[in-house]
Amino acid sequence: MARPVIGTFLTNANLSMKEFFLTMQEFFLFSVRAFITIPKIKRYWRDFLDQAKIAGTDSLPIVLVSSISIGALLAVEVGNLLEDFGAKTMLGRSTALSVIRELGPLIMGLMLSARYGSRNGAELGAMKISEQIDALRAFGTDPIAKLVMPRLTAALIVFIPLTAIADFAGLYSAALLAEHYHKIDPGIFWNAVFPRLVFKDFVVGFLKAPVFAIIITLVSCFNGFIAQGGTAGVGRSTIKGIVVSSGLILVANFYVSKLVLENM
Amino acid sequence: MIELQDVTLQYGNREILDGISLTIEDNKIKAILGPSGVGKSTILKLILGLIKPNCGRIFIDGTDITSLKESQLYPIRRKMGIVFQGNALFDSMTISENMGFFLRENLKLSEEETELRVQEQIAFAGLEGYEDALPENLSGGMKKRVAIGRALIFNPNMILFDEPTAGLDPVSSKKILGLISSLRHKNNLGAVIVTHIIDDVFQVADSVAVLYKGKIIFDGETESLHDSTHPFIQSILSDKILEQ
């Protein structure tokens, strides 16, 4: 009795592994095609501008809200901790490092995964199930060049200024909290921020923006492209896109920091 | 001319098409009749190279498209227009933008010429005044006419219709069938019509192929369908609308 059960289990595991590797292969080819079509950007200039607005300007509110909250929270919590050691004046330094290297880009990446990634997954998934992607192909248009490449290039370009805005908003909110909550003079706070930040700190933070842009766009668009099973299928593919890209962002955040800090 | 030779298609373990062979001549209307879910729409996607068969060959004007890359398929696809079952109109674009999509994407025409051809198709489809409307604001019959206009705008040799009257009221169905008939007379176009409605076949098709359980069980002149003794064909002739 046990043998057929084990046999079925192994067969299912084998099929799942095969499906996983086929999907990975498909994702790899999809990603390569998205990069290869970047030279066609001039042809899809309007699509690029639309996507730049969606990923950039329209994402500003959520990026600002999340970075201001994180900056304020860090100022309060780290300030309390430093006060115990009589090192409150170090608040600017510790907040700046946390925001610029880690939390600024990370929170921005997760927020954009939820906002921009979910939009991509749902929009392309709906296009897939209503045969609009097939229609593009039938009318001689490469759907990856038309739909994915403008999203990818827009994210690659606008995520960098968004990171800068997120960093600044986070630090500024931390400075305000430091002044009004911990009674630290703004001059002392900012003096602990800028002179001590080195080039490496900015590289760590700003290198994450394009990495996250690639992860969010390609994962969400790919999941939209392979959506099937009606509206429920669009929901499933959108969720999968957000979950996978968020997980990859957390992993990539660690490795980018590790690689840059160890090698610079 | 379109020719399918021993085409087999499987999704996983499920066999959709089992070695079908079919010839579709230019300037003729060929219907592919069969119950829902039998793989009729799949044949249209195979003809356009949107999916590849597991085995068999598909020739479009003598070119075997089964071994072509996606970029090599684009010139082949430009010979054929398609009207999808759900119309597949680009829902973020207006009717005018939908109609002119192919021209703007693939032909280097001036904006004036593009606009002129769009207006011609809008007039042909009887949709004057709806140029700036979005597809969501149109009725089912109007959407179908936009889809037909979009497929015709680049003057293809052949037009593929996937269930052109499915889900339409009798008046809209009649209009669409009239539009399809007029295409051949005015534009000398060939067409492939995939349908499960036998009345549509008798109204517009010159010949018909009946697809049943992955096989072609009849392929001949529309009128000779009555002579078939196949039990399934006998049953559909009496029931008129096919259900699995």
Instruction: Print the domain residue range for B87.
Output: 2-239
Helices (H), B6-69: 40-48
Does the structure show a pLDDT above 80 at A1?
Answer: no
What is the tens place of the pLDDT at every residue in A171-227? 999 999 999 998 888 898 898 888 778 888 899 999 999 999 999 999 999 999 999
User: Residue B193 belongs to what H/E stretch?
Assistant: strand B190-195
Q: Find how far residue A184's CA is from the centre of its chain.
A: 33
Tell me: pLDDT of A3 over 70. no
Does the ipTM exceed 0.90?
no
Q: What is the pLDDT of residues B167-213, one digit of tens each?
A: 888 888 888 888 888 887 777 788 999 999 898 999 999 999 999 99
Number of domain units in chain A: 1
Burial class (CB in 10 A: 0-12, 13-18, 19+), A35: middle
**B211, part of any domain:** yes
> How far does the CA of residue B190 sit from the closest CA of chain A (Å)?
17
The confidence band for B244, taking pLDDT boundaries of 50, 70 and 90, is very low
A134 interaction partners in chain B (CB closer than 8 Å):
45, 50, 84, 88
Side chain identity at B189, as an amino acid letter? L
Domain that holds residue A99: 37-263
Q: Could you give the CA distance from residue A202 to residue A177 in angstroms, rounded to a whole number?
A: 23
Quick one: DSSP state of residue B195?
Answer: E
Q: Which residues of B touch A (CB under 8 A)?
A: 45, 48, 50, 70-71, 74, 77-78, 80, 82, 84-86, 88-91, 101-102, 105-106
**Which pair of tokens denotes residue B86?**
């759900």
**A135–B82 C-beta distance less than 8 A:** yes
A134 close contact with B: CB closer than 8 A: yes
Burial class of A155 by CB neighbour count within 10 A (0 to 12, 13 to 18, 19+): buried
Share of chain B above pLDDT 70, in %: 97
Instruction: Give residue A2's pLDDT.
Output: 61
Is residue A59 situated within a structural domain? yes
Average pLDDT over residues B152-163: 91
**pLDDT band at B216; cut points 50, 70, 90:** very high
Whether the CA torsion B91, B95, B101, B102 is positive or negative: it is positive
Using CA coordinates, name the residue in chain A closest to B152: A139
* pLDDT tens per residue across span A55-96: 999 999 999 999 999 999 999 999 999 888 888 888 888 899
Residue B73 identity (one-letter amino acid): L
pLDDT band at A261 (very low <50, low <70, confident <90, very high): confident
Task: Report residue A218 as tokens.
Answer: 């390609």
Determine the pLDDT at residue B84. Answer: 94
Which strand ranges, in their side-by-side order, compose the sheet holding B207-212? B80-83, B158-162, B190-195, B29-33, B207-212, B215-221
Query: Which amino acid is located at B163 in the chain?
Result: E
Q: What is the pLDDT of residue B242?
A: 56
Alpha-carbon distance of A112 to A183, in angstroms, equals: 34
pLDDT digits (tens, 9 = 90+) for B39-71: 899 999 999 999 999 999 999 999 999 999 988
- Hey, is B230 helix, strand or coil? coil
- Whether A231 maps to a domain, the answer reads yes
- B70 contacts in chain A (CB < 8 Å): 137, 142
Residue with the larger pLDDT of the pair A168 and B244 = A168
Partners of B7 in beta bridges: B20
Across chain B, mean pLDDT equals 89
pLDDT score recorded for residue A213: 96
Q: Which two tokens stand for residue B179?
A: 């539009």
C-alpha neighbours within 13 Å on the C-beta side of residue B240: 3
User: What does the pLDDT average to over B123-145?
Assistant: 91
Closest CA to A130 of B239, B135, B225, B127: B135
The DSSP bridge pattern shows strands B55-60 and B63-64 to be antiparallel
DSSP 3-state percent helix, strand, coil across chain B (nearest 5)? 40, 25, 35
Q: Considering only A69-73, A140-144, A145-149, B232-236, which range has the smallest mean pLDDT?
A: B232-236
Q: Report which DSSP code applies to B30.
A: E
The number of folded domains in chain B is 1
Q: What is the mean pLDDT of residues A17-21?
A: 88
> Domain for residue B93, yes or no?
yes
Tell me the mean pLDDT in the region A227-246: 93
| Confidence at A146, pLDDT banded by 50, 70, 90 | very high
Domain CATH code at residue B72:
3.40.50.300
- Does residue B209 fall inside a structural domain? yes
pLDDT of residue B201: 92
Which residue of B85, B88, B102 is in closest CB contact with A132?
B88
pLDDT digits (tens, 9 = 90+) for A96-138: 999 999 999 999 999 999 999 999 999 999 999 999 999 999 9
User: Both tokens of residue A69?
Assistant: 């909250």
Q: What's the confidence (pLDDT) of residue B161?
A: 94
Question: What's the gap in Å between the CA of A141 and the closest CA on chain B?
Answer: 7
Confidence at residue B30, expressed as pLDDT on a 0 to 100 scale? 94
**SS3 letters across chain A:** CHHHHHHHHHHHHHHHHHHHHHHHHHHHHHHHHHHHCHHHHHCCHHHHHHHHHHHCHHHHHHHHHHHHHHHHHHHHHHHHHHHHCCCHHHHHHHHHHHHHHHHHHHHHHHHHHHHHHHHHHHHHHHHHHCCHHHHHHHCCCCHHHHHHHHHHHHHHHHHHHHHHHHHHHHHHHHHHHHHHCCCCCHHHHHHHHCCCCCHHHHHHHHHHHHHHHHHHHHHHHHHHHCCCCHHHHHHHHHHHHHHHHHHHHHHHHHHHHHHHHHHC
**What residues of chain B lie within 8 A of the CB of A139, using their CB?**
77, 101-102, 105-106
The alpha carbon of residue B48 is apart from the nearest alpha carbon of chain A, in Å, by: 7
Contact A202, A239 (CB under 8 A): no
Cα angle A160, A161, A164; round to 5: 95
Chains A–B, number of C-beta pairs less than 8 Å apart = 44
